[in-house]
Structure 1
Amino acid sequence: YRLFFKKMKKIGYEGFFSYEQCGPVYVNHRMGTIEEVDRRAEIGLQNFTP
């Protein structure tokens, strides 16, 4: 993602980006909790931090 964001900045993009958790979340072959979804979203958010 870092290269993508660098290129978007280079061309002058100043709009919004979003992160989406697609599909069900599984941990050790079991349905993940909302805390796991939040944890993964936090990891994704790290790619959006300038």
Structure 2
Amino acid sequence: MHPNVLKETKYYSVTVGHFFTAIHNLKLLFLNSRRFHLLHDLKILLANRTSYS
């Protein structure tokens, strides 16, 4: 492989990695604000499921 192509490929993959990391962090921020409520709902759902069975 040509060194230049390799360098560009590496740069591209790093850029994509940063992009996905940024999206992941945004997703985590969004989820963290709702995580408590989601966990609370899950606990209720699990409690209901166990009481039904």
TM-score normalised by structure 2 residue count: 0.31
TM-score normalised by structure 1 residue count: 0.32
Larger Rg: 2
More strand by percentage: 1
- Report 1 or 2 for greater relative contact order, CA contacts < 8 Å, sequence distance ≥ 6: 1
More helix by percentage: 2
